[in-house]
């Protein structure tokens, strides 16, 4: 929808961490997500609302549980618009080199 | 064994009827249904779209290779389409089928399309295929419906 919202939502380390948590395990409850975060439940709720407003998180009710899912479609749109048309292979080679030299994972 | 689920949402400036046609009409589907693999020749979904009927996901190559099969569970144009989803080798084994639901809703002056993919085996190859595939297909669908043109797909 609004690409400004996507960038704003991503411009915060706690929100990026929440997306990483959902990438590792999709479909989590608020309580499960709070378990990993060094912040109040209310703060996590606010971050999730912002992520949902940016369409980076989708929610569904399963019985009485509200589950949160990572929605990567807006990221795909950013990729298609600004990365896909540039030099994909060279960028990938650079990423792989960085990954190799730093020896860490993506987080 | 626990099963994985994914939910994908995209907002498209179009009508529910056009989204429905883009899912089920082959001459529309073939214009945007490309996976992340640049050599993907495009795919179409083939069925009579009646509940209980089979459907096939066919590659737009000369052989029309069938890459996915399943059954139509629910078909309520232009609001909701529910399919089972499987590799062709698992066609007869319903326990191996995952389930895909397309929900098409009006949202202000847009359409909200939600794709829910459930009951995926955690250790199967399907999980990897779809988690790269759905975001690409939905991003393509949005571009296609909003511009009305086939995609400027880089087929390099």
Predicted confidence (pLDDT) per residue in B85-138, tens digit: 999 999 999 888 999 999 999 999 999 999 999 999 877 788 877 777 899 999
Residue of B nearest to A78 (CA): B139
Using the predicted structure, report yes or no on whether residue A53 has a pLDDT greater than 60.
yes
Q: Which of B2, B4, B6 to mutate to test the interface with A (most CBs of A within 10 A)?
A: B6
ipTM (interface pTM): 0.82
Mean pLDDT of chain A: 89
Q: For residue range A35-47, what is the model confidence (pLDDT) as tens digits?
A: 979 999 999 999 9
Q: b vs e for A11-44, b when ≥16 Cβ sit within 10 Å of the residue's Cβ?
A: eeeebbbbbebbeeebbbebeebbeeeeeeeeeb
Tell me how far apart the alpha carbons of residues B46 and B43 are, in angstroms, rounded to a whole number. Answer: 10
pLDDT of B150:
63
List CB contacts (< 8 A) between B138 and chain A: 73, 76
* A contact test, residue of B3, B4, B7 with most A CBs within 10 A: B7
The predicted structure's pLDDT at residue B1: 43
Contact A69 B143 (CB under 8 A): no
Per-residue confidence (pLDDT) for residue A89, from 0 to 100: 67
- d(CA B141, CA B155) in angstroms, rounded, equals 17
| pLDDT value of position B151 | 64
């Amino acid at each position: 929808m609004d690409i400004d919202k996507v960038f704003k939502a991503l411009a915060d380390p706690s929100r990026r961490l929440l997306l990483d948590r959902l990438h590792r395990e999709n479909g989590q409850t608020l309580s499960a997500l709070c378990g990993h975060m060094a912040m109040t439940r209310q703060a996590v709720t606010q971050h999730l609302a912002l992520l949902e407003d940016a369409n980076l998180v989708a929610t569904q009710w399963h019985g009485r549980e509200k589950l949160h899912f990572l929605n990567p479609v807006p990221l795909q749109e950013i990729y298609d618009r600004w990365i896909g048309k540039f030099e994909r292979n060279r960028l990938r080679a650079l990423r792989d080199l960085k990954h190799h030299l730093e020896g860490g994972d993506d987080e | 064994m626990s099963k994985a689920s994914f939910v994908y949402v995209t907002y498209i400036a179009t009508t529910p009827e056009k989204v429905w046609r883009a899912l089920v009409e082959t001459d529309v589907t073939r214009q945007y249904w490309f996976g992340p693999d640049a050599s993907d020749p495009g795919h179409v979904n083939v069925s009579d779209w009646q509940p209980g009927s089979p459907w096939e996901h066919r590659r737009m190559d000369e052989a029309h290779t069938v890459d996915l099969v399943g059954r139509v569970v629910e078909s309520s144009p232009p609001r909701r389409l529910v399919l089972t989803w499987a590799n062709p080798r698992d066609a007869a084994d319903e326990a191996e089928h995952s389930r895909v639901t397309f929900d098409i809703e009006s949202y202000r002056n847009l359409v909200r399309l939600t794709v829910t993919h459930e009951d995926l085996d955690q250790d199967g190859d399907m999980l990897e295929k779809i988690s790269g595939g759905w975001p690409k297909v939905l991003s393509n669908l949005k571009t296609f419906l909003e511009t009305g043109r086939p995609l400027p797909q880089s087929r390099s």
